[in-house]
Amino acid sequence: MKKIKLAVIPGDGIGREVVPASLKVLDRIAGLHGGLKFEYEHFDYGCDYYLKHGDMMAEDGMERLGQSDSVFLGAVGDASKVPDHISLWGLLLKIRREFQLEINVRPAKVFGGIKSPLANPEDFDIMVVRENSEGEYSSVGGRMFQGDDEIAIQNNVFSKRATKQAMEHAFELAKSRSGHVTSATKSNGIFHSMPFWDEVFRETAAGHQRIETTSTHIDALAASFVTHPERYDVVVASNLFGDILTDVGAAIMGSIGIAPSANLNLNGKHPSMFEPVHGSAPDIVGKGIANPIGQLWTAKMLLDHHGEEEMGSLLLDTMESVTADGFLTPDVGGCHTMDEVVQQILSRLQ
């Protein structure tokens, strides 16, 4: 029997609704598989924990999470209780940094039954690989002078190691897909870091002769995600460019409530973390109408990560058959509750 040990953090808001629902589905998948078992350790870290204990997680929290095979997270944040910068830095970003989750992978595809805001979308299926640890999101720089003379300097940090690592991951991914990698660049405007990015991209491409490549400037690429998303397969991007592109990706899919993400640790020293793109959605919490697809698609990525691609595909196909048959929550134009959607998925996974 293969066991996968999951550290489960529902977190705040609708995280506490979509995570328990997803565990039911994971258990059903394990039952169908026969040789697979999930072992859950539940952590009540989040804003309520902060109000009780003065911290977003226990002192030995990272150590305990580190004993799992993967972290399965809902959403963090409840500004009515704890300021967002404290809750996010104390839990989500802490895990991303300390577990060296240096790559963020986010798919964007036409999802059966869910209406894209694009008028006539062709069948697109994109995987964005975002460098998740450095680039434009660095704390190197500073401010000096005051008043009208004030200046701010923000340095970008691009290491060959992290850049190459993100690109290698993109090329490996492309091998199991249609075999094309697009690099998001801006070497016509950014003088040092982006020509370096292009050089590392060419060097990485040379090691993968069978994969086709394109380099596209980020402004044109973002526009093209809207006009011709079907042209893209795997896209590799720096931290900032990837952040923006993946939001465009979630938007053209039709709802933030369906978008998943995987934060990957690649040195094997820590678990990876799987979380939907959406937040805790305080405006709909407790109403039973949270879209469970984002969290469930995240679970599919977790299955893939642990070598259970067949079960991952089964889960994705089942979800798409349910949404295609009109079992939709209000955020995607439906009138069904989260429980009704989940129940449909469970009953089709027999």
Enumerate binding residues for ligand NAI (CB under 6 A): 14, 75-79, 84, 88, 92, 256-257, 275, 278-284, 290-291, 294, 329, 331
Altogether, the residues listed in the chain come to a count of 350
* Token pair of 125 as six digits: 């299926």
Shortest CB 328 distance to Mg ion, Å: 24
> Smallest Cα–Cα separation from 231: which of 262, 252, 256?
252
> Smallest Cα–Cα separation from 271: which of 32, 43, 31, 16?
43
Shortest CB 326 distance to ligand NAI, Å: 17
165-195 burial, b if ≥16 CB within 10 A, otherwise e?
A: bbbbbbbebbeeeeeebbbbbbbeebeebbe
243 binds, among Mg ion, ligand NAI, none (CB under 5 to 8 A by kind): Mg ion
* Token pair of 128 as six digits: 């964005």
> Smallest Cα–Cα separation from 237: which of 148, 175, 151, 170?
170
Choose which of 243, 304, 308, 331 interacts with Mg ion (CB under 5 A): 243
Q: Is 86 exposed, middle or buried (0-12, 13-18, 19+ CB in 10 A)?
A: middle
182 binds, among Mg ion, ligand NAI, none (CB under 5 to 8 A by kind): none
136 binds, among Mg ion, ligand NAI, none (CB under 5 to 8 A by kind): none
User: From CA 293, how far away is CA 326, in angstroms rounded?
Assistant: 13
Q: Is 275 in the site for Mg ion (CB under 5 A)?
A: no
User: From CA 271, how far away is CA 263, in angstroms rounded?
Assistant: 9
Q: Is 134 in the site for Mg ion (CB under 5 A)?
A: no
Shortest CB 167 distance to ligand NAI, Å: 25
Shortest CB 26 distance to ligand NAI, Å: 17
Kind plus residue range of the DSSP H or E element containing 300 = helix 293-305
282 binds, among ligand NAI, Mg ion, none (CB under 5 to 8 A by kind): ligand NAI
The alpha carbon of 219 is separated from its chain's Cα centroid by a whole number of angstroms, namely 22
Amino acid symbol at 344: Q
Q: Is 17 in the site for Mg ion (CB under 5 A)?
A: no
* Token pair of 115 as six digits: 């209406």
Q: What is the largest CA-CA distance in the chain?
A: 68
* Token pair of 186 as six digits: 């801006």
Shortest CB 84 distance to ligand NAI, Å: 4
262 binds, among ligand NAI, Mg ion, none (CB under 5 to 8 A by kind): none
Closer CB to Mg ion, residue 113 or residue 257?
A: 257
Tell me the residue number closest to Mg ion, measured at CB: 243
Sequence-distant (≥ 6) Cβ neighbours of residue 121 within 8 angstroms: 110, 229, 230, 252
Stretch that binds Mg ion, among 34-42, 172-180, 243-251, 287-295 (CB under 5 A): 243-251
Number of residues that bind Mg ion (CB under 5 A): 2
User: From CA 197, how far away is CA 200, in angstroms rounded?
Assistant: 5
Closer CB to ligand NAI, residue 202 or residue 287?
A: 287
256 binds, among ligand NAI, Mg ion, none (CB under 5 to 8 A by kind): ligand NAI
Closer CB to ligand NAI, residue 204 or residue 291?
A: 291
Shortest CB 102 distance to ligand NAI, Å: 17
Closer CB to ligand NAI, residue 88 or residue 251?
A: 88
Shortest CB 285 distance to ligand NAI, Å: 8
Closer CB to ligand NAI, residue 235 or residue 341?
A: 341
Residues that bind Mg ion (CB under 5 A): 243, 247
